[in-house]
Amino acid sequence: MTALRIGLISDTHGLLRPEAVAALQGCDHILHGGDIGKPEILAALRELAPLTAVRGNNDRDAWAEAIKEVEELCLGEIGIYLVHDQADIPDDLAERGFSVVVTGHSHKPLIVERDGLLHINPGSAGPRRFKLPVSVGFLHLQAHGVNAELLDILP
């Protein structure tokens, strides 16, 4: 398997910061964890790499109706489950062959192993909320497995 760098972004809420675009340059694929805000965000991300996105609880306008609430994908032999809210994660993902769960919603960056799955929330790359960081994430997929990384894009 060829090593892949997957960019993770979530909770843009209509704001695609130049720092996020710069951080995601060179990715092999980008996953957006929902609360996109407007279709122009998706168009801009598609210019960087192939994109898979899910609809968040704030993506309610007509443009968002075509976006699924859940995406199940396999990138470089790694099963990835993409959903906006951690509360919507099924219990049987490991048995179904998934290795990674990518979420958004909380705006809190997170990497944790739980029940045989790597959970990653890249945090929010959009408007700053409270004192939470503005961040993106990455999955590094290699023959021997997957590693996750978080990156604060603003001080």
Taking only the tens place, the pLDDT of each residue in 129-145 is: 889 999 999 999 998 88
Between CA 146 and CA 107 the distance in angstroms is 23
Taking only the tens place, the pLDDT of each residue in 72-118 is: 999 999 999 999 999 999 999 999 999 999 999 999 999 999 989 99
CATH of the domain at 47: 3.60.21.10
What's the total number of domains in the chain? Answer: 1
Given strand 117-121, what is the order of strands in its sheet?
70-75, 78-83, 98-102, 117-121, 110-114
Q: What is the mean pLDDT of residues 4-19?
A: 98
Question: Do 1 and 141 touch, CB atoms closer than 8 A?
Answer: yes
pLDDT higher than threshold 80 for residue 14: yes
The predicted structure's pLDDT at residue 41: 98
Looking at every residue in the chain, the average pLDDT score rounds to: 96
Taking only the tens place, the pLDDT of each residue in 34-68 is: 999 999 999 999 999 999 999 999 999 999 999 99
pLDDT higher than threshold 80 for residue 4: yes
Range of the domain at 86: 4-152
Between CA 155 and CA 139 the distance in angstroms is 22
Question: Do 10 and 132 touch, CB atoms closer than 8 A?
Answer: no
The predicted structure's pLDDT at residue 66: 96
